[in-house]
Amino acid sequence: MSSSSSSTKLCFNSNCKEPLEKWRRGWRLRTGEYADLCDRCASAYEDGKFCETFHLKATGWSCCGSCGKQIHCGCIVSFHMFILLDAGGIECLTCAKKSYILTPNPAWPPPSQFLPSQHESLKDLSMKRWSLIAGSGPVPWRKAPSFFNGSGVQSELQPGMPFEVDVVGGIDRFRISDRFSIFSLEKKQENSFDRLIDRKLIVGPSETLENEISASNREEKPNLSVASVVKNESSASNMSLASAFSSKYETNNMNHDCASLSQWPTLSTPMGKHVSSHNGMNSAGEAVVHTGKARGDCRGRNQLLPRYWPRITDKELQQISSNSNSVITPLFEKILTASDAGRIGRLVLPKKCAEAYLPLISQPEGLPLKVQDLKGKEWIFQFRFWPNNNSRMYVLEGITPCIQSMQLQAGDVVTFSRLEPEGKLVMGGRKASTTPSDQGVEATLTGNNALAPEDDSGNQITKADSGTTWSEICKRRFKVNETLEVKPISHSKRKNSILGSKGKRLRVENEDLIELKITWNQAQGLMRPSPKIVPTVFVVEDFEIEEFEHAPIIGRPTIPAIDHFGEKIQWVQCDDCLKWRKVPANALLPSRWTCSENVWGLDRSLCSAAEKLSTEELEDMIPTINKVSFKKKKNEKRDSDSIVALEGLDALANLAIQGEEDVLPASSQTGLRHPRHKLGCTCIVCIQPPSGKGPKHEQTCDCVVCKSLKRRCKTLRDRREKKQLEKEAETAYPSQLQTEQVPDNDSCVDDSSERKFLISPLKGQIDLNIQPERDEEVSPGLYSGAMKCSFTDATDVNFSQQGYSSLGVGINVVGKQMQEDGTGQANFSNSVTLDCHLEKTDVDRHLILPMDTAGSTSSTAT
């Protein structure tokens, strides 16, 4: 509140108009200025009693249905003080908080993303839209009650559902959210801002709205227009427009005719359409939608499970809206289950989708819903729900003819869209027969254009490639997954279906496993920074970390080195003969590589050719490579993929982390971080904050993870120094080595296991690959690779970090830990050793690594 000593002004409150000698700041005006209030009004305003003081006789007054408190419902100041009840009447926020039993509509953004008011045109549009749909069915919509004559209507309602009355409830429910949003905004404005910023949401003034909302409808709070940064091009202002409600609207509608209140739930109206209609952005707005770029209700979709995100194709869009200038707004989709496609003819609708996009129903019998298919044929389904576990199961009944008409079956996808501005609900179908791989590629590359069997992916790839964000990629990965899970399934009886819920879910898991397997075996170990990309290097506790700004490339893991001539090279192992070949440093090798592909050294292009480097030489170059592994490498048949991955992970990671100074030539020390540490890598070193999301760690960051990392780095340094001292001591007193193990400050490492780990039968050398008594229990591949995990310093075992995850590869080995199981076997496990402060749950999020694979790296020692 600010004061001024100027005079001649009147209190902004029209019911007061008291000359102001001093005035204080009230609510914010549309101009950006603030209402100047007299002391009394300002005080009342500050106390939230503005209405009760100054609007007592104005229209729009109502009593809280619970406590009876009078609240002026049209007041711009107090309109956040109450909620509208579905059954009519209002409830003050205090009471509402107590009795609020409905969750905010899930399809809408967090409360803080709402604007407090809505423009009339939006309301009109919504009403029109709703009426069109509602009135189109053979069964008339139930008359909605007016807002403020609740008593008469309430009797119609089922007890226990005070907030929901048919169609209007949809509006009111939104208002509840809206109200709460304001409340939330009020109470936690600062936090909201922070959160929003943290989430990288667009926060800004809603200029468009500002110009269109009357002063009396304005809320004193800053107009926030918040839009998630998603691929939907809807602007922040668009978002605000969509979510805008005005108190004036509410006031004006208090006595509305019931019929006029029947409208499409505004909350379910995608903002894109609001914008198009509301702003008259016909050409522009619709064009955007027509191109398929602005698809779906981005807010709604963000709140829906990804599997329900609409992935309608351009062709579908065009097909739907071909006969008119309508704009199609994809709402959601669902993969048909056996039950859905069964003879029963009931399509179970995802609850959130139903509540977000379909008319609100209060009675289990629901409402007839007129739906148009892609051919323009209209169907009428019964949209209803069953009470279920204190919740509801929404179903569309009578869909069998439509499903059959579209020749859909279990596993296929039904899409629900809405035509704007008609408001028609459109149901589309998509066969699951499109080959998963195609779909996957298409989905991955084109995102929202995915899954159209007839789509020309080529163009879309081009189109989508520009401006693809990681979030998009991640989202599209969902599509890949889900696409993959869609398999043609013969239509059959429910009980015989192989697409039961369990099966479906198992399928999802299996797909995930496949993805993981692929990731692990073929991608994880193969991703490398592009040789043309110069990484930026940042330092954490003297450890230089390379950060790559570009996506990694897929290649075979190699060992970078410098040859005798000082040239950068890399060593690569032939998959067939397991011999190591030298290739140029910039050579990109396929995941499987054999000597025959050695175009750089024709004399070594045959497996029969001798290894250019002797084992000893190679060992000299890479001391961490275990001699035993070398010895075994030719004797054991391996799964090359897994070994490649293991090599990539274990050897390279350890090379990178443990031994840059010790192992590699000086010239390569700076550059040789683990190649996985690049953009998209979410390992702790690179970006991983404790929460699993968020910005990268600053060098000065003192978060738990960073502190852990720093502590660990320090430990490593210390140990290295100690190790050096030990070596020196060993020279003088070799016999003392075996008992040498100086505790360090890494509290997370189990000392006993580590000590055990360090005690090696090899004199003076720790060989983790040796576990004579348990050899038979370990995969043969474990020890076969020359690059297998082996350590000269056990301390390094605990610090292999690597991984991609945000690239969609889905791997991020945060850490490995030596653990001692009951048998005395020391194993690596997918748990974190970086710091005791790290909770396992935090870590598990990043451990997509299959346990068996991780475990397979277990090098045991006794």
Partner DNA sequence: CCAGCGCATGGTA
Partner DNA sequence: GTACCATGCGCTG
Residue 36 near residue 55 (C-beta atoms within 8 A): no
Q: Judged by CB, which is closer to DNA: 489, or 782?
A: 489
Helix crossing, 436-446 with 457-465: angle to 10°? 30
358 Cβ contact partners less than 8 Å away, ≥ 6 residues apart: 268, 349, 369, 383, 394, 425
Using the rule CB under 7 A, is 387 a contact of DNA? yes
Give the nearest distance from C-beta 499 to DNA in angstroms. Answer: 5
Tokens 């030298």 locate to 582
Using the rule CB under 7 A, is 504 a contact of DNA? yes
Using the rule CB under 7 A, is 487 a contact of DNA? no
- Only one of the segments 279-287, 332-340, 524-532, 752-760 lies at the binding site for DNA (rule: CB under 7 A); that segment is 332-340
- Only one of the segments 47-55, 188-196, 336-344, 848-856 lies at the binding site for DNA (rule: CB under 7 A); that segment is 336-344
Residue 847 near residue 830 (C-beta atoms within 8 A): yes
Q: Which of 643, 629, 656, 637 is nearest to 592 (CA)?
A: 643
Residue 458 near residue 307 (C-beta atoms within 8 A): no
- Only one of the segments 183-191, 340-348, 515-523, 770-778 lies at the binding site for DNA (rule: CB under 7 A); that segment is 340-348
Measured distance CA(642)–CA(833) in Å, rounded:
24
Binding residue for DNA, selected from 178, 333, 340, 422, defined by CB under 7 A? 340
Using the rule CB under 7 A, is 173 a contact of DNA? no
Using the rule CB under 7 A, is 676 a contact of DNA? no
Binding residue for DNA, selected from 22, 30, 351, 612, defined by CB under 7 A? 351
Tokens 């050719």 locate to 609
Give the burial string for 544-567 (b: 16+ CB within 10 Å, else e). Answer: ebbbbeebbbbbbbbbbbbbeeee
In 66-211, the DSSP E strands lie at 70-72, 82-84, 90-92, 202-204
Give the burial string for 135-171 (b: 16+ CB within 10 Å, else e). Answer: ebbeeebbbbbbbbebeebbeebeeeebbbbbbbbbb
Using the rule CB under 7 A, is 343 a contact of DNA? yes
**DSSP characters for 708-725?**
HHHHHHHHHHHHHHHHHH
Binding mask 281-320 for DNA (x = CB under 7 A): ------------------------x--x------------
Using the rule CB under 7 A, is 499 a contact of DNA? yes
Residue 357 near residue 350 (C-beta atoms within 8 A): no
Using the rule CB under 7 A, is 393 a contact of DNA? yes
- Only one of the segments 335-343, 547-555, 787-795, 849-857 lies at the binding site for DNA (rule: CB under 7 A); that segment is 335-343
Tokens 């001692």 locate to 820
Give the nearest distance from C-beta 364 to DNA in angstroms. Answer: 5
Give the burial string for 707-740 (b: 16+ CB within 10 Å, else e). Answer: ebbbbbbebbeebbebbeebeeebeeeeeebeeb
Binding mask 12-41 for DNA (x = CB under 7 A): ------------------------------
- Only one of the segments 229-237, 284-292, 341-349, 418-426 lies at the binding site for DNA (rule: CB under 7 A); that segment is 341-349
In the chain, % helix, strand, coil (3-state, to 5) comes to: 40, 15, 45
Using the rule CB under 7 A, is 401 a contact of DNA? no
Using the rule CB under 7 A, is 195 a contact of DNA? no
Q: Which residues pair with 373 in a beta bridge?
A: 427
Measured distance CA(454)–CA(465) in Å, rounded:
20
Using the rule CB under 7 A, is 187 a contact of DNA? no
Element at 373 (helix H, strand E): strand 367-373
Using the rule CB under 7 A, is 338 a contact of DNA? yes
Give the CA angle between residues 528, 529, 530 to the nearest 5°.
115
- Only one of the segments 17-25, 206-214, 229-237, 506-514 lies at the binding site for DNA (rule: CB under 7 A); that segment is 506-514
Give the nearest distance from C-beta 266 to DNA in angstroms. Answer: 21
Using the rule CB under 7 A, is 724 a contact of DNA? no
Measured distance CA(800)–CA(524) in Å, rounded:
14
Using the rule CB under 7 A, is 139 a contact of DNA? no
Size of the site for DNA (CB under 7 A): 40
- Only one of the segments 281-289, 411-419, 504-512, 597-605 lies at the binding site for DNA (rule: CB under 7 A); that segment is 504-512
Using the rule CB under 7 A, is 158 a contact of DNA? no
Tokens 């027509």 locate to 290
- The neighbour count for residue 89, using CB atoms within 10 Å, is 25
Q: Judged by CB, which is closer to DNA: 97, or 343?
A: 343
Sign of CA dihedral 589, 594, 597, 600: positive
Give the nearest distance from C-beta 105 to DNA in angstroms. Answer: 11
Q: Judged by CB, which is closer to DNA: 110, or 555?
A: 110
Using the rule CB under 7 A, is 635 a contact of DNA? no
Q: Judged by CB, which is closer to DNA: 161, or 607?
A: 161
Using the rule CB under 7 A, is 778 a contact of DNA? no
Binding residue for DNA, selected from 503, 601, 623, 694, defined by CB under 7 A? 503
User: In the 8-state DSSP scheme, what is residue 74?
Assistant: T
User: In the 8-state DSSP scheme, what is residue 560?
Assistant: E
Q: Judged by CB, which is closer to DNA: 358, or 834?
A: 358
Q: Judged by CB, which is closer to DNA: 108, or 147?
A: 108
Q: Which of 312, 346, 292, 297 is nearest to 106 (CA)?
A: 297
Tell me which residues in 364-383 interact with DNA (CB under 7 A).
364-365
DSSP three-state, residue 421: coil
Q: Judged by CB, which is closer to DNA: 401, or 761?
A: 401
Distance of CA 47 to the CA centre of its chain: 40
Q: Judged by CB, which is closer to DNA: 497, or 741?
A: 497
Measured distance CA(432)–CA(439) in Å, rounded:
9
Binding residue for DNA, selected from 29, 344, 533, 577, defined by CB under 7 A? 344
Give the nearest distance from C-beta 510 to DNA in angstroms. Answer: 10
Using the rule CB under 7 A, is 259 a contact of DNA? no
As given in the structure block, the two tokens for residue 431 are 């066969």
Kindly report the backbone phi and psi dihedral angles of residue 377, in degrees, each rounded to the nearest multiple of 5, phi listed first. -75, 140
Binding residue for DNA, selected from 285, 345, 429, 552, defined by CB under 7 A? 345
Binding residue for DNA, selected from 290, 494, 612, 714, defined by CB under 7 A? 494
Using the rule CB under 7 A, is 386 a contact of DNA? yes
Using the rule CB under 7 A, is 514 a contact of DNA? no
Using the rule CB under 7 A, is 409 a contact of DNA? no
Q: Which residues pair with 569 in a beta bridge?
A: 561, 584
- Only one of the segments 1-9, 74-82, 343-351, 607-615 lies at the binding site for DNA (rule: CB under 7 A); that segment is 343-351
Binding residue for DNA, selected from 8, 31, 283, 389, defined by CB under 7 A? 389
Binding residue for DNA, selected from 159, 323, 454, 495, defined by CB under 7 A? 495
389 Cβ contact partners less than 8 Å away, ≥ 6 residues apart: none
Q: Judged by CB, which is closer to DNA: 481, or 833?
A: 481
- Only one of the segments 199-207, 489-497, 629-637, 729-737 lies at the binding site for DNA (rule: CB under 7 A); that segment is 489-497
Using the rule CB under 7 A, is 404 a contact of DNA? no
Using the rule CB under 7 A, is 528 a contact of DNA? no
- Only one of the segments 169-177, 178-186, 349-357, 585-593 lies at the binding site for DNA (rule: CB under 7 A); that segment is 349-357
Residue 800 near residue 649 (C-beta atoms within 8 A): yes
Q: Judged by CB, which is closer to DNA: 346, or 418?
A: 346
Using the rule CB under 7 A, is 391 a contact of DNA? yes
Can you give the binding site for DNA, defined by CB under 7 A? 305, 308, 334, 337-340, 343-346, 348, 350-353, 364-365, 384, 386-391, 393, 397, 494-495, 497, 499-506, 508-509
